[in-house]
A and B are shown apart, each in its own frame.
Chain A
Amino acid sequence: MTAPFQRALRGLKEHTYLAAVATGVIAAVLVLLGVYALVVVNLQAALSGWQEDVHVSAYFNADVSAADQLTAQATIATRTEVASVELVTAPMAAAWMKERVPEVGPLLVELGDSALPASLEVSLRPASTSPAAMDGFAASLSATGQFAEIDYGREWVERAAAFLATLSLLGGVLGIILVVAALFLVGNTIHLVVYARRDELEILRLVGATESYIVTPFLIEGFLEGLVASAFALAILQFVHHGVVLRLHETVPIAFGGQDLAFLPASILFGLVATGITIGILAGWVAVRRFLARLA
């Protein structure tokens, strides 16, 4: 008996063009899914970095003495949620500003060293960077009456988190739409393959082939097409990651906190391969079953 695998290879050989089209369609869908996953994975990594880097800037009232500022720094440093506290005196703030924005240098000289307020730059431990924890921390600083303003970028962090959550949700919806569209496209392509082989299927039926005898090679073909498409898609994604994204990253490194953009983790790569193979098998199965039902 000719093994199903051999018959599948013969089918691919006899209908190379259509098999290539089906493979290309699956690969295109996987690349789209993969590019989207690359974006989400790196945004998540960036947001995670930003969240870990969340710190509180507490600006002293002008009447708080340097000694009291040091006392406040020492007191805050003892709190469990605090990772570090740095005192930025008014002269240090002015120097920082002059360095970063040289244009304001003459103005700061004119206003004197106390033009900018002293502040405490407090880095919080990761467990204490939730919006609620930061609210509580800021409220406790306000209660001391030593600070004119407490800035901890809560709104920005919340917005970024909400944006990423929305992006992930959209990604899920988009992913489902893409997979369904791929099934439809690949199904139609494989339907063409099946149609091109209608004579063979009809003959097989006439000579007493069972349904599994007829269907199995198509499933194997779908598997192979999905596997090859996955390999192509991963190669393209690797190329996109190295050739385009990393170059882009070199141009705008600050947007990602100076970190290298990550490639997809193994779990997602495995998921893409599994998706490609599943699409190939499912599309083959649906197409040949539809055709056989019509023959019957």
Chain B
Amino acid sequence: MIRLYHIVKSYGDRDALRDISLHIQKGEMVYITGPSGAGKSTLLKMVYGAEHPTSGKLLIGGVDVSKMKHAELPSLRRNMGVVFQDFKLLPSRSVAQNVAMALEVIGASAESIRRRVPAVLNIVGLKGREDDLAGVLSGGEKQRVAIARAIVNDPAMLLADEPTGNLDGAMAVEVMEILQAINLRGTTVLVATHDVGLMDRFPYRKLRFVDGRLVVSPTKGSRS
């Protein structure tokens, strides 16, 4: 699904990623972990095309993302969902409107949007909350809306950058359970986190980064 070959990412004199090679299989759930500044977010940004590697090759489904032109990024992003620590929701819009944004950009019909949005809100445990304003939700609810928006298109891949960073313990567990459920439906899930407790509770393969280098990469893609 995702293959990196000798990826280097430099910002001036500083190397954010150094000679990273790895492989993430389709349907796998993987943690990208390590201390702050280790390169976790940089790696995710490369996967969703917000950053280009300085050198090396990054293949997603056989397509070389590292050489992708700006105008080609929408087609890449329509096939993946992205979730952030700060949720990135529009507080003045309803839950349904926030989720529907991902469907509107691909030209989904109004009927399809009316059908898909409640269904996906049901998956993340927000059934019946369509009309609530996103701004009045709790942190955990906001993250669920963000996840709903990320998966409403049935993407092949879900990227989550510190998805539990702003949540307390119980809410973080709920969010991880949702991500786990999404993975069980066949979606490849990459979670950048440094929450050791959650990784122990939901054990999946860990890609540990330190100072831009991949230091631990068990090859087995199952719970360990």
Contacts and interface: CB of A to CB of B under 8 A. Distances in A.
Counting chain B residues whose Cβ lies within 8 A of the other chain, the interface size class is 20 to 34
B224 interface: no
Contacts of A205: 77
B162 to A, nearest CB: 15
A1 B90 contact: no
A158 interface: no
B105 A207 contact: yes
A202 B105 CA distance: 13
Contacts of A200: 90
A262 interface: no
B110 to A, nearest CB: 8
Contact of B105 (A14, A199, A209, A296): A209
A98 to B, nearest CB: 81
Interface string B65-98: 0000011011111110010000011101000000
Contact of A213 (B89, B105, B108, B149): B105
A204 B78 CA distance: 11
Contact of B77 (A1, A207, A213, A296): A207
Interface residues of A, number: 17
Nearest to B48: A206
Contacts of B90: 199-200, 203
A204 B92 contact: no
A1 B107 contact: yes
A206 B104 contact: no
A180 B178 CA distance: 53
Nearest to A206: B82
A213 B74 CA distance: 11
A208 B106 contact: yes
Interface string A182-221: 0000000000000000011011111111110100000000
Contacts of A210: 71, 74, 105
29 contacts: A1-B106, A1-B107, A2-B104, A199-B88, A199-B90, A200-B90, A203-B88, A203-B89, A204-B101, A204-B105, A206-B48, A206-B77, A206-B82, A207-B78, A207-B101, A207-B105, A207-B149, A207-B153, A208-B73, A208-B74, A208-B75, A208-B105, A209-B74, A209-B105, A210-B71, A210-B74, A210-B105, A211-B71, A213-B105
Interface pairs A-B: 10 shortest CB-CB: A208-B78, A208-B77, A209-B105, A1-B107, A207-B102, A208-B74, A2-B104, A210-B74, A206-B82, A207-B105
